[in-house]
């Protein structure tokens, strides 16, 4: 399950792990104009872990999800 909310400066996507086995904490994706952050609560440390990705990294990640194993370099569209 996931939710999508549009806030003033970001789109917020929350991914909820609904499986029966070994559930993970919710993942929160904040999409801003210039970057994307991914957050997840770490119960071992009792704090939120946060990753910040540039728009280029997001573009590469989206492409990588649909490609076979290998090394790639995406070119900017003309």
**Cβ proximity of 28 and 14 under 8 Å:** yes
Tell how many helices (H) and how many strands (E) occur in the chain: 1, 5
Consecutive H or E run containing 51: strand 47-54
pTM of the model: 0.81
- List, for residues 38-66, the tens digit of each pLDDT value: 999 999 999 999 999 999 999 999 888 88
- List, for residues 7-19, the tens digit of each pLDDT value: 999 999 999 998 7
Where are the chain's structural domains?
Answer: 2-64
pLDDT of residue 77: 67
């Amino acid at each position: 399950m996931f939710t999508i909310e549009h806030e003033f400066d970001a789109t917020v996507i929350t991914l909820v792990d609904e499986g029966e086995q070994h559930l993970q904490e919710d993942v929160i994706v904040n999409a801003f104009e210039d970057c994307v952050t991914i957050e997840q609560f770490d119960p071992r440390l009792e704090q939120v872990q946060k990753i910040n990705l540039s728009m280029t990294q997001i573009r590469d990640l989206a492409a990588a999800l649909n490609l076979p194993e290998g090394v790639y370099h995406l070119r900017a569209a003309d």
